[in-house]
């Protein structure tokens, strides 16, 4: 399960993939699926104000995608990527920007996952078919929007 949440932990996008698909390859499809309706007329927003992600989404391609779309972000760099960049010397580029204060708010995303996984069937993956599991995920995501 891959998901995007807003600043309050409410689910915006949910994508389901096989268990062997890693997070970094699903980053672009998650951003592409983002559609947030505006309060008034106009097309939906497709560009978030800020992205906070964990080390699983750290890659040059994801950072380039965010830079191209003009989206500010805080994504920590894993130690192996730091070591590779240092090993290359000046050709490795400069260290990525990282705001620890903003990264502390990433727990909102984890709380959003926990809220969805309070459903026993979702947490234990009882459903045999992906369409049933996605339906339950979408229902649980919709319920996070209710007061």
| Side-chain-side CA neighbours of residue 112 (13 Å) | 25
β-strands 50-52, 11-15: how paired?
Answer: unpaired
Please report the pLDDT score of residue 93 as a whole number: 80
Please report the pLDDT score of residue 89 as a whole number: 86
Over residues 70-116, the pLDDT tens digits come to: 999 999 989 988 898 888 888 888 888 888 899 988 888 888 888 88
pTM above threshold 0.85:
no
pLDDT of 147 strictly over 80: no
Kindly state the greatest CA–CA separation across the chain. Answer: 52
User: Could you tell me if 2 and 17 are in contact, meaning their C-beta atoms sit under 8 angstroms apart?
Assistant: yes
Over residues 12-40, the pLDDT tens digits come to: 898 888 888 888 899 999 999 999 888 88
Q: 84 to each of 57, 89, 90, 118, how far by Cα in Å?
A: 17, 9, 11, 39
Q: What are phi and psi of 53, to 5 degrees?
A: -135, 165
Specify whether the backbone of 69 is left (phi greater than 0), alpha (psi in -120 to 50) or beta.
Answer: alpha
Nearest to 46 by CA among 29, 32, 59: 32
Over residues 123-146, the pLDDT tens digits come to: 888 888 889 989 998 998 888 888
What are the extents of the domains in the chain?
2-143
């Amino acid at each position: 399960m891959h998901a995007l949440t807003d600043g309050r932990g409410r689910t915006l996008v949910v994508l389901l993939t096989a268990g062997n698909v890693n997070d970094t390859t699903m980053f672009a499809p998650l951003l592409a699926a983002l559609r947030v309706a505006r309060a008034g007329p106009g097309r939906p927003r497709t560009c978030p104000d800020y992205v906070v992600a964990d080390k699983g989404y750290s890659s040059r391609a994801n950072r380039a995608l965010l830079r191209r779309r003009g989206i500010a972000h805080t994504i920590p760099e894993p130690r192996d990527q730091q070591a590779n960049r240092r090993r290359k010397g000046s050709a490795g580029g400069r260290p990525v920007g990282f705001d620890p204060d903003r990264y502390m708010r990433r727990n909102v995303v984890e709380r959003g996952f926990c809220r969805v996984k309070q459903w026993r069937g979702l947490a234990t993956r009882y459903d045999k078919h992906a369409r049933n599991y996605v339906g339950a995920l979408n229902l649980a995501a919709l319920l996070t929007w209710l007061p």
